[in-house]
Structure 1
Amino acid sequence: MMTNLFSSFDPSTMMNLALNWTSILLGLLVLPSMFWIIPSRINFIWIKMCTTLSNEFKIILKIKSMKKSSLIFVSLFSLILFNNFLSLFPYIFSSTSHLILTLTLSIPLWLSFMIFGWINNTKHMFAHLVPQGTPPVLMPFMVCIETISNIIRPGTLAIRLTANMIAGHLLLTLMGSTGNKISLFMINILIMAQLLLLLLESAVAIIQSYVFSILTTLYSSEVY
């Protein structure tokens, strides 16, 4: 049962080749049309959303010279959001449900922030280990706690996104697998529940991509 339940998250296909990861490239077939076709209402909504996110990220990035990097976090949001929505379609591999992808996004970003901070703002990074107003007796413990919390940041970013995407997909799979064992009346109720759950998963796809990008922006703002 467990093998069948998690088979939708199996990255391997025939001949032991992980061809399912090519689903990440499906965006190349959709996004370029925005630059060649007359903008529609969907394009205007997308541009408005990206502009709003960029302005919000600029508020978090305090230094004026760093505000241009807000486009990086908007791109990160777009990448995660697109893959989250792709995973809601049947027969499309859910790439954001795997730690391979989420850790690939979080670890390099976190490492770049840490390297930049410790090289350019060493004093600030040391001062950040001890919160303001900490009693001298508790300072060694606070340094240990802050160090551990800083080290586990990329893991928490990756696991949060992966766990939320897996939970919804597993619930959809479990509910869908009972369709051939229930009555016609219960099937109608099951379809309504599946539609409501799919709507919830669409909201989760947006929220989790926003949470990932906003937390990454907050982590970057702490290194200067």
Structure 2
Amino acid sequence: MMTNLFSSFDPSSALNLSLNWLSTFLGIMLIPSSFWLIPSRYNFLWIKIIMTLHNEFKLLIGPSIKGSTLIFISLFSMILFNNFLGLFPYIFTSTSHMVLTLTLALPLWLSFMIYGWVNHTTHMLAHLVPQGTPPALMSFMVLIETISNLIRPGTLAIRLSANMIAGHLLMTLLGSTGPSTSIMMINLLLVIQILLLILESAVAVIQSYVFAILSTLYSSEVN
């Protein structure tokens, strides 16, 4: 019996070793080197995904900075690996913790802001007042736009971690009721858990894509 509902998210690992954050690097260890050295179906699929993301990010960012899509593709890949690894039993879900998500979101947003205000100050000031705003509402709109700009790294971090926590928490709640239910209910519970696992797999892809695409949109605003 769990003493705390959120104890499944505690940073702990087998044998009480403090190696929980090593799950962040398990994605690299699971890819055999032959996939990188010899062209395979897996390799062709991954290249196809990367090229699709590159073309999409390039449209949003524009041709101003060449090679800038690589950082967002790497960000997508890292979050995707960690989201998927969190679905396996006894593997620490690093993306469900604000320590990791805020570490990814805050430096990105801060670098965009510093670059924009240093190099495109007039453009950044123009963003504070949307086009067509009545003069009486300009000061109010500047306040609203400033607040919405300041909370961007927080919303990026909370969105990712909250979506990871919500699905895992629901699966933990349903799984903990198994020993006290009948055979019929256990069969129903297994079907629900499998459907939830499929949903969580889709959420893992969607949330990594949302994080990467929003970071791309924020970077395109400062150019």
TM range (shorter): over 0.9
Counterparts of 1:30 and 1:60 in 2: how far apart (Å)? 32
- Structure 2 match to 1:52: 52
Structure 1 runs not aligned, ≥5 long = none
Stretches of structure 2 lacking an aligned partner (at least 5 in a row): none
The answer to whether the 8 A contact 1:130-1:139 is kept is yes
On the 8 A contact 1:107/1:154 being kept in 2, the answer is yes
**Does the 8 Å CA contact 2:54/2:69 hold for their aligned counterparts?**
yes
Matched AA of 1:35: W
Tell me the amino acid that sits aligned with residue 19 of structure 2.
L
Q: Provide the C-alpha distance between the structure 1 equivalents of 2:186 and 2:89, rounded to a whole number of angstroms.
A: 19
Structure-1 residue corresponding to 2:202: 203
Change (3 A) 1:173 1:136: same
Counterparts in 2 of 1:190 and 1:4: CA distance versus 1, 3 Å:
same
Instruction: Give the superposed CA RMSD.
Output: 1.7
TM-score computed with the length of structure 2 as normaliser: 0.94
SS of 1:6's equivalent in the other structure is: helix
Contact 2:13 2:92 in 1 (8 A): no
C-alpha distance in structure 2 between counterparts of 1:92 and 1:10, whole Å = 11
- For the 8 Å contact 1:11–1:19, the answer to whether it is kept is no
In the alignment, the residues of structure 2 paired with residue 15 and residue 92 of structure 1 have an alpha-carbon distance, to the nearest angstrom, of 13
CA displacement at 1:161 relative to structure 2: 0.4
Change (3 A) 1:136 1:79: same
Length, aligned pairs only: 222
- Percent identical among aligned pairs is 72
Structure 1's 177 and 72: CA in aligned 2 closer, same or farther, altered over 3 A? same
1:181-200 mapped onto 2 (5 Å cutoff): 181-200=180-199
Matched, 1:61 2:61: yes
Determine if contact 1:8/1:93 at 8 Å carries over to the other structure: no
Tell me how far 1:190 sits from its aligned partner. 0.6
Q: 1:62-117: CA deviations, max 9, x gaps? A: 2x132420111001000000000000000000000000000000000000000000
- Alignment of 1:24 with 2:24, yes or no, is yes
Structure 1's consecutive aligned runs of 4 or more residues displaced over 6 angstroms after TM superposition are: 14-17
* 1:19 Cα deviation after fit: 2.2
The offset of 1:8, in angstroms, is 1.6
Instruction: Report the counterpart of residue 79 of structure 1 in structure 2.
Output: 78
**Whole-angstrom CA distance in 1 between matches of 2:66 and 2:53:** 12
Cα displacement (A) at 1:50: 1.1
Q: Could you tell me the TM-score, scaled by structure 1's length?
A: 0.94
Task: Quote the offset at 1:186 in angstroms.
Answer: 1.1
Within a 5 Å distance, the mapping from 1:26-45 to structure 2 comes to: 26-31=26-31, 33=33, 34-36=35-37, 38-45=38-45
